[in-house]
Amino acid sequence: MGKPTGFLEHERQPIPDRPPLERVKDWKEIHADREDKRVSTQAARCMDCGVPYCHTGMTIGGAASGCPINNLIPEFNDLVYRNRWEEALERLRKTNNFPEFTGRVCPAPCEGSCVLGVIEPPVTIKNIECSIIDRGWEEGWLTPHPPKKRTGKTVAVIGSGPAGLSCADQLNKAGHEVTVYERADRIGGLLMYGIPNMKLEKHEVVDRRVNLMREEGVKFVTNAHIGVTHDIAEIRDEHDAVVLCCGATKPRDLPIEGRDLNGIHFAMEFLTANTKALLDQGLNGNRPPIDAKGKHVVVIGGGDTGTDCVGTSLRHECASVTQLEILPKPPSERAADNPWPEWPRVFKMDYGQQEAEAIQGEDPREYLVSAKQFRANSNGDVCELELVRVDWARDDKTGRFIPRDVEGSDRTIQADLVLLAMGFLGPEETLIEKVGLETDARSNVAAEFEKYTTSVEGVFAAGDMRRGQSLVVWAINEGRGAARECDRFLMGETQLP
Whether residue 410 is found in the same domain as residue 479: no
What is d(CA 55, CA 67) in angstroms, rounded to the nearest whole number?
Answer: 5
Residue 229 located in a structural domain: yes
How many domains does one find in the chain?
Answer: 3
* pLDDT at position 380: 93
Whether residue 411 is found in the same domain as residue 267: yes
What is d(CA 316, CA 56) in angstroms, rounded to the nearest whole number?
Answer: 41
* pLDDT at position 285: 65
Mean pLDDT, residues 177-202 taken together: 97
Single pTM value for the model? 0.95
Whether residue 72 is found in the same domain as residue 215: no
Give the domain-ending residue among 394, 422, 450.
422
Residue 233 located in a structural domain: yes
Mean pLDDT, residues 487-496 taken together: 97
Kind of pairing between the strands at 177-181 and 219-221: parallel
pLDDT digits (tens, 9 = 90+) for 401-454: 999 999 999 999 999 999 999 999 999 999 999 999 999 999 999 999 999 999
CATH code (residue 367): 3.50.50.60
* pLDDT at position 281: 85
The model's confidence at residue 284, banded by pLDDT at 50, 70 and 90, is low
Kind of pairing between the strands at 63-65 and 417-420: unpaired
pLDDT digits (tens, 9 = 90+) for 3-52: 889 999 999 999 999 999 999 999 999 999 999 999 999 999 998 888 89
Whether residue 408 is found in the same domain as residue 440: no
* pLDDT at position 104: 97
CA–CA–CA angle 403, 409, 414 (5° rounding): 100
| Structural domain for 268, as ranges | 253-422
Helical H runs in 216-303?
232-238, 267-281
Nearest to 450 by CA among 482, 473, 476: 482
Residue 1 located in a structural domain: no
- DSSP letters for 94-106: TT-S-HHHHHHH-
Nearest to 31 by CA among 193, 204, 196, 200: 200
Residues counted in the chain: 497
CATH code (residue 68): 1.10.1060.10
